[in-house]
Structures are given as structure tokens and as C-alpha cells.
Amino acid sequence: MISAAIVGGTGYTGIELIRLLSAHPNVSLDLLTSRSEAGTRADEIFPSLRGISDIVFSDLGEDTLGALQKCDVVFFATPHGVAMKQAEALTQAGVKVIDLAADFRLQSLTDFEHWYQQSHACPELLKTAVYGLPEVNRAKLAEALVVGNPGCYPTTAILGLKPIIEKQNTQADRLIEPRIVIDAKSGVSGAGRQAKLALNYTETTDNFKAYSVEGHRHLPEIEQGVAQLLGSQFTHRIRFLPHLVPMIRGMLSSIHMEMTEAGTAIDWQQAFENAYASEPFIDVMPKGNYPDTRSVRASNRLRIAIHQDNEHAELTVIVVQDNLVKGAAGQAVQNMNVMFGLEESLGLNFAPIVP
């Protein structure tokens, strides 16, 4: 059994981790921390856990740090800046760390400091961190001590672009023009479990809005994914615009590109089907079928549809996922499975919830 701990288990990704790890056949969830809820049972805060987990929140103090060092893996479901202050001590004790915040996503310290307004606490450890996208980084994840779990939007963007960039890298000529537009929408849970006026029921219900129009901190993560993770041989200009939609969970990203003449000669439907044929959690929809967010709700599935319009040289990729599962906690568990040499889909093979 893998001894696991969750630091910061009172948010939406935290409860998803508790739900998933409590049902995992190879995991014992031994420690759960929260400064605000120390001494409280998790099922008192989240009644959905009654009969599933009776674990009690502990405070994150010196005694708790010693207990964390005895675990096999520690998940950080905390705000940005927390994991990097604890990671060195944990890895020195041989503990694997999976951070669901942004501390270990961006390799550029300049980008990290600009977008997250803080200096990195362990830049040397950051150099060894692995970006936690199994469909791209599976081999590196198997050897990783520290994993930066991807952001929810970048997961849809990078996986939506992966077959295109990989196909383009095999060609002498460009297949798509430099400009890529990512029009993304997320449910309100993506903003976290916090009391903010802009997120209350009256403000979000029967409403739909764009936000961070001037620039979003997931943009450098997407750019890093295309340029470094996917190793694009061509430079791209990416416009990323997120929107908040009046639903609790779910994410849909539409990726718009203009094809070159060489790009129109490619059967992109077949290219996507070939690229993801062996991936357990990526479903490429049949031609002419388009996914909705309900089709992946509460699951670790990510569904992709491709629309190729050769007459107008336009290519559109539509990606949906549950932002709390494949976009966060489910992907973290998938990463853990790879890190410990387990079957990648272990503890994650559950059908989406409909309606």
C-alpha cells in the first residue's frame, strides 16, 4: 500500500483527492492537513464523505511535517507558494511530491515571478521537477520525485495541440499558420472554494463573462507546453482567453487555427485517432460528433473533436474535461500511478455522471 497525505484538503481539489484516494485499491490515505479545520473530521465538512472516510484534519506544524516525511507521497492542494517551502525537506526524506498549484509548473523563474508575484523558494529543485501530463511525459514521470500537476486550461490546450505539433514536426513545411486562438470556458469551481463577491450565486447564475482578458497566468504554461514539452520546431503566437460559465464543474476549450496548403492535405481526424489510440483517458470523437461537458462530468476522461474545413483552410479542435478531475485531482492520481509503477488507470476507471 502507498501511504499518502494531502496538504490542504478543504478545497474542491482537496475533496476530489480524498474521494479518489479513498477508493484507490493501492493507497492508504494516512494524513490530511488544514490549518483552519484542524481537529475536524473531513466528513463533517463534506457530508458526501460519510461512510467513505473518517480521517481528521491535522494542523500543518513541525510535528505534522515529521509525519509527512514518513509517507510515500504527499499531494499539495494548497495555494501557490506553499508546496515549494516544504518540498525540499520531503524529497530529502525520499517522499514523492505532487503539487496541484503552480510552484513546479513553469521552468522560467522570470515567468513564475511575474505571473505569481513571488520568488521561488527552491529553484534548484524546480529544475528536476517533471510536468505532470502523462500523455506527454510518461517516461519522465516514472522517475520523478517532484511533479507539477498541470493547470486545468493548459491540460486541454496542450493535449488539444499535441497531435498537430507532433505531425508538424515531421514535415519540412508548416501545416498551420503561427496564430493559434484558444477560446476556453470553465465552470465556477475552477476559481476554488472561497468567498468572493464575483463568485457568489447571484453574480454567476444566469451570467457569462470573459476574464483576465489582458493576460492569464496559464498562458506561459501553454506556451511552455507547445515550445518545450511538445518541442515545436516552429514559433507560434497563442491568444488565450478564458470565460466563466454558470455551471459548477466542466471545461470546454475551442482551439482555432488556420491551415497552410500543406495542412489541408492532412487528414487531421485520422491523425488525432492515431495519436491517442492507446491513451486510456483520451477519447477522440467520431467525425461530425462534438462533446459536451456533461459527457465527462466527475470522470478522468478528456474528449476531443476535430473539425477540418479545407475550403476556408480552418482547423478547429474542441476539448472537454472535468476541471476538478482530469484538470486537477484525477490527473494527480494518474501521475501517482505512473510514479509508483502502477497501472495508470487504477482507481480512475469510473464512468461520467449523467445527468
Cell of 312: 476556408
Rg (CA), the chain: 20
The predicted-structure confidence for 236-252, as pLDDT tens digits, reads as follows: 999 999 999 999 999 99
The C-alpha atoms of residue 282 and residue 285 are separated, in whole angstroms, by: 10
Quick one: average pLDDT of 143-149?
98
Mean pLDDT taken over the chain: 95
**Which residues are CB-neighbours of 45 under 8 A, at least 6 positions away?**
10, 37
Q: Is 71 a catalytic residue?
A: no
The predicted-structure confidence for 218-236, as pLDDT tens digits, reads as follows: 999 999 999 999 999 999 9
Cell of 146: 517532484
What pLDDT band is residue 200 in, cutting at 50, 70 and 90?
confident
pLDDT value, residue 259: 98
What pLDDT band is residue 64 in, cutting at 50, 70 and 90?
confident
The predicted-structure confidence for 22-52, as pLDDT tens digits, reads as follows: 999 999 999 999 888 889 999 999 999 999 9
The sheet with strand 302-309 has its strands ordered as 209-210, 237-244, 176-186, 251-259, 314-321, 302-309, 282-284
The predicted-structure confidence for 322-345, as pLDDT tens digits, reads as follows: 999 999 999 999 999 999 999 999
Of 106, 125, 129, 152, catalytic: 152
Torsion-angle region of residue 170: left (phi > 0), alpha (psi -120 to 50) or beta? Answer: alpha
